[in-house]
A and B are shown apart, each in its own frame.
Chain A
Amino acid sequence: MSELIVSKFFYNKEAAPLEYYRKHGGYEALKKALSMKPEDIIAEVKKSNLRGRGGAGFPTGMKWGFIPKESKVPKYLVCNADESEPGTFKDRAIITYSPHMMIEGMIIGSLAIGAETSYIYIRGEYVREAEYLEKALEEAYDAGLLGKNILGSGFKHNMYVHRGAGAYICGEETGLLNSLEGKRGEPRVKPPFPAIKGAFGGPTIVNNVETLANIPAILNKGGEWFAKLGKLPNSGGTRLYCVSGHVNKPGLYEFPCASVTLRELIYDHCGGIRNNRKLKAVIPGGSSAPVLLPHEIDIPLDIDPMAKAGSMLGSAGVIVIDDTWCAVKAIKRITHFYAHESCGQCTPCREGCRWMEDVLHRIEDGHGKASDMDLLLNVADNINGKTLCALGDAAAGPVMSFVKKFRQEFEDHIKGGKCPSA
């Protein structure tokens, strides 16, 4: 087994408290960071080639570097714990078993960008996890790791947990900031980007839970060490893969970036397809990632190789589908999710997602028409890349890939007047 960073303490019920974390080297990175210059912290993170783990894969150090040094308004760091991409469940485990790893990362990040306040925006459905975080914050305050004078360094920092109300769109960083400010959760027009004008008008960094949980290890062992873990030159460290669906051993797997292929993950590590069935399709990066067929899965699991293969690693939520499952039903369910979660502010997403869902519903019920497939592709194309935020692309991409890759199955539904597997 390779070296574990964020999943080191997973499934260890004693690992969550501060005492355990400190005994195992916790908050040493913070001590180190407190003695460093902010620009040196950012330089170390840049060196590590850490890329955002939320989905877009933006280099974290570069993002931190966008924050202006001097600002008349307060700066903020926000941890995006609104883990809502279907198929993704890694942040939940980090919050449950290693909340302090993430909190330590947040304090270091705040130190680097000069933020005195940070927020953990957690999805409303994570009720227990929000409690775990509250408890962890209390411990950190009591131990002087948060508050007016952190470890006697004079650095002042407050951290708050903010619970969302249950909207996928609040995982989009500007939608999240609107929600955090008490406004309707809908994405903002960019520019200005959050690094210039984010929460409450101040320069703001929004990072994913897993991204922040990697920070202590980078500071402890150095950016170069972290960068070398990754098998590709521009993507360092390890990554959590959330495998769900029809495999024998679903769950969370941590591997160095690009060190395993999708096929190896499914067959070597997850024990293959359940009941010895045949693999039908894999959605490699949360439900918004375009689907891959069994012959397309010999791809190293990392951001760039996945994009090259016409899909995306996204949040690394690997959804495995076997041959018992209807492709039309699968994409109908996925499209229903995006239609339901569309915030409704911009035209193509608001109208188009629901339209696609209705057409898919018709096809699955056996009321489809021969022209429906081209209609679906065209509507998806009219959404793709033309919306205000990425939700439109997230909804259109899967539809286009399913129609293209399972065209025969769609035709069977339309010609047969019912689902062939029903």
Chain B
Amino acid sequence: MPKCIIDGKEYEFKPGETIIQVADRNNIDIPRFCYHPALTVVAQCRMCAVEVEKMPKMQTACSTPAADGMVVHTASEKVKSMRASVMEFTLINHPLDCPICDEAGECTLQDYSYGYGAPDSRYEEERRTFIDLDMGPVIKKNMNRCIHCTRCIRFCDEVGGFREMVALKRGNWTEITTVDGKPLETEYAGNLADICPTGSLTLKDFRFKKRSWFLTRAKSICEGCSQGCNIEVHHENNTVFRLTPRENMDINKWWLCDEGRFNIKYIHSPTRVVEPAVRQDKTLTLSDWYSAVAEAKEKVHGKTLVLVATDLTLEEMKAIQEFASSKLNGAAIYHFGTEGHTKASDDKPEDNILRRTNKTSNLHGAEKLGLKGWDGQGKFDSAIVFRGGRAQLPTDLNKYVSGSIVGVGVFHEETVDGYSVILPGLSYVEKSGTVVNWQGKEQKFRKALEPIGQSRSLVDVFALWS
């Protein structure tokens, strides 16, 4: 393998690799704004410029292929002065409104300004300002903060599936915007806020909600579909503020779709049933755990239908199987979750990026445990429905069930009209567990929040039951 020398140390590289790729692999820090491993190299920001011996000009590390015997300096005086000048140029028209900017604390521009910029400014002219157009429901644009790295344009062209962002005008007045000022159509718009190195593109949903440094980050797996995208749950005070993608080159690379990203609303919804509830005279009345479990035990009788949502973890599904065989003799167990998806082979790609047609996280895990999909057959005396929070509830259960229906898990008031008892359970951010994605990969995720209200884990519920 050919070798190049970076800052005095020798590194092997594959032919065709650029300097920045070799540096990244070996943890050599080269600052960059426009370079992103997923996107075309444009070498526009000039921040990654390094000194290469025998080359008269500074070379951008993102676009210069490594060569055998090449000697690269990433921390020489020339490099430092170039970085300082690029920082000065990027900041002269930047509003420096970090105190009211949502990106602050996780802003590449801010970090690099601290790392490579000057503490004061020589700029005395008027800063340019723009009037911003709306970019749709997901993204809020602030063009004044933009440093023209064009990552967003390239993301839409190369990843998001729609060529819908462009640079208008030219030179100092170049404006990054959507085509004809239309709202974004891509289902992956949230990623624009992630890849934007400044506060120019931020999430409307997250704006002004929380300073980023207050957030605690928990590693998790998105439950939005059977892709199993790796995510981080950002939370504080037992409240989820946002989800962000976590890099996994085998599954979601750097991305997350908007459906998955904003699949947090139900967790803190005011209509979520978070205390045990029993139906009395047609109205759902709050109860306590002992009375509610006793009521549920009484209601579940005769020939029982057990429905297991495919948004539950492997551990929970196994526990339900054990519970059914030991406590509910002769019960029929089926899984449910997405309309038209009774077996793993019904799950298809929804686009050529990430989204799958099966809208729960663990259909493939349920199949692995031998569960069959609920296809609406048979007659039952009672039913017990286990659900995580994402699965689509069957609406016509009373056609097959003559007696009571008990719900265990995450339910909302508007969806439980036919239920006699609700035993509140945990959503995926309140528990740890394992799910299996469409490729058959088993992925573990970690608990982010303490149970909300009086919600309890399935293990606790089954303990009370016996």
User: In whole angstroms, what is the CA distance A420 to B44 when docked?
Assistant: 41
Tell me which of A37-45, A88-96, A340-348, A408-416 binds B. Answer: A340-348
Tell me which of B82-90, B193-201, B430-438 binds A. Answer: B82-90
Q: Which residue, B147, B148, B171, has most C-beta atoms of chain A within 10 A?
A: B171
Could you tell me if B171 and A339 are in contact, using CB atoms closer than 8 angstroms?
Answer: yes
A377 CB, nearest partner CB in chain B, Å: 12
Q: Point out the residue from B56, B58, B171 that lies within 8 Å of A342, measured CB to CB.
A: B171
Q: What residues of A have a CB within 8 angstroms of the CB of B93 in the complex?
A: 351
Q: What residues of A have a CB within 8 angstroms of the CB of B49 in the complex?
A: 386
- Chain A's interface: helix, strand, loop or mixed, by majority? helix
Q: What residues of A have a CB within 8 angstroms of the CB of B45 in the complex?
A: 346-347
Could you tell me if A347 and B86 are in contact, using CB atoms closer than 8 angstroms?
Answer: yes
Could you tell me if B90 and A385 are in contact, using CB atoms closer than 8 angstroms?
Answer: no
Given A350-B148, A355-B123, A359-B125, decide whether A344 and B172 contact each other with a Cβ distance below 8 A: yes
- Count chain A residues whose beta carbon lies closer than 8 angstroms to a beta carbon of B: 30
Could you tell me if A348 and B171 are in contact, using CB atoms closer than 8 angstroms?
Answer: no
B54 within 8 A of A: no
A354 within 8 A of B: yes
Cβ-closest chain B residue relative to A391: B171
Binary CB contact string for chain B from 138 to 157 against chain A (1 if under 8 A, 0 otherwise)? 00000000011010000000
- Count chain B residues whose beta carbon lies closer than 8 angstroms to a beta carbon of A: 36
User: In whole angstroms, what is the CA distance A359 to B123 when docked?
Assistant: 10
Could you tell me if B150 and A386 are in contact, using CB atoms closer than 8 angstroms?
Answer: no
User: In whole angstroms, what is the CA distance A348 to B173 when docked?
Assistant: 14
User: In whole angstroms, what is the CA distance A191 to B64 when docked?
Assistant: 8
Could you tell me if A387 and B46 are in contact, using CB atoms closer than 8 angstroms?
Answer: yes
A-contacting residues, B66-94, CB 8 Å: 82, 85-86, 88-90, 92-93
Cβ-closest chain A residue relative to B49: A386
B369 within 8 A of A: no
Could you tell me if B92 and A355 are in contact, using CB atoms closer than 8 angstroms?
Answer: yes
Could you tell me if B44 and A342 are in contact, using CB atoms closer than 8 angstroms?
Answer: no
A289 within 8 A of B: no
B280 CB, nearest partner CB in chain A, Å: 67
Could you tell me if A385 and B85 are in contact, using CB atoms closer than 8 angstroms?
Answer: no
Binary CB contact string for chain A from 78 to 97 against chain B (1 if under 8 A, 0 otherwise)? 00000000000000000000
B170 within 8 A of A: yes
A382 within 8 A of B: yes
A196 within 8 A of B: no
A307 within 8 A of B: no
Q: What residues of B have a CB within 8 angstroms of the CB of A355 in the complex?
A: 89, 92, 123, 125
Could you tell me if B171 and A353 are in contact, using CB atoms closer than 8 angstroms?
Answer: yes
User: In whole angstroms, what is the CA distance A298 to B148 when docked?
Assistant: 45
User: In whole angstroms, what is the CA distance A355 to B121 when docked?
Assistant: 13
Cβ-closest chain A residue relative to B173: A344
A18 CB, nearest partner CB in chain B, Å: 39
User: In whole angstroms, what is the CA distance A345 to B171 when docked?
Assistant: 7
Could you tell me if B122 and A375 are in contact, using CB atoms closer than 8 angstroms?
Answer: yes
A189 within 8 A of B: yes
Could you tell me if B44 and A388 are in contact, using CB atoms closer than 8 angstroms?
Answer: yes
B169 within 8 A of A: yes
Given A189-B41, A189-B63, A350-B148, decide whether A344 and B89 contact each other with a Cβ distance below 8 A: no
A392 CB, nearest partner CB in chain B, Å: 10
Could you tell me if A341 and B171 are in contact, using CB atoms closer than 8 angstroms?
Answer: yes
Q: What residues of A have a CB within 8 angstroms of the CB of B25 in the complex?
A: none
Could you tell me if B41 and A346 are in contact, using CB atoms closer than 8 angstroms?
Answer: no
Q: What residues of A have a CB within 8 angstroms of the CB of B90 in the complex?
A: 347, 351
Given A189-B43, A346-B46, A386-B82, decide whether A340 and B171 contact each other with a Cβ distance below 8 A: yes
A-contacting residues, B2-45, CB 8 Å: 41-45
User: In whole angstroms, what is the CA distance A385 to B123 when docked?
Assistant: 22
A167 within 8 A of B: yes
Could you tell me if B89 and A351 are in contact, using CB atoms closer than 8 angstroms?
Answer: yes
A220 CB, nearest partner CB in chain B, Å: 39
Could you tell me if B172 and A354 are in contact, using CB atoms closer than 8 angstroms?
Answer: yes
Could you tell me if B58 and A347 are in contact, using CB atoms closer than 8 angstroms?
Answer: no
Given A348-B86, A351-B93, decide whether A343 and B170 contact each other with a Cβ distance below 8 A: yes
A168 CB, nearest partner CB in chain B, Å: 10
Q: What residues of A have a CB within 8 angstroms of the CB of B179 in the complex?
A: none
A388 CB, nearest partner CB in chain B, Å: 6
Q: What residues of A have a CB within 8 angstroms of the CB of B174 in the complex?
A: 343-345, 350
The 3 closest A-B pairs by CB, nearest first: A344-B174, A382-B85, A342-B171
Q: Enumerate 28 A-B pairs (CB-CB under 8 Å) in ascending A order.
A: A189-B43, A189-B63, A339-B172, A340-B171, A342-B170, A343-B174, A344-B169, A344-B172, A344-B174, A345-B42, A345-B148, A345-B150, A345-B167, A347-B45, A347-B89, A347-B147, A347-B148, A348-B85, A350-B89, A350-B172, A350-B174, A351-B172, A355-B123, A355-B125, A359-B125, A386-B49, A386-B86, A388-B43
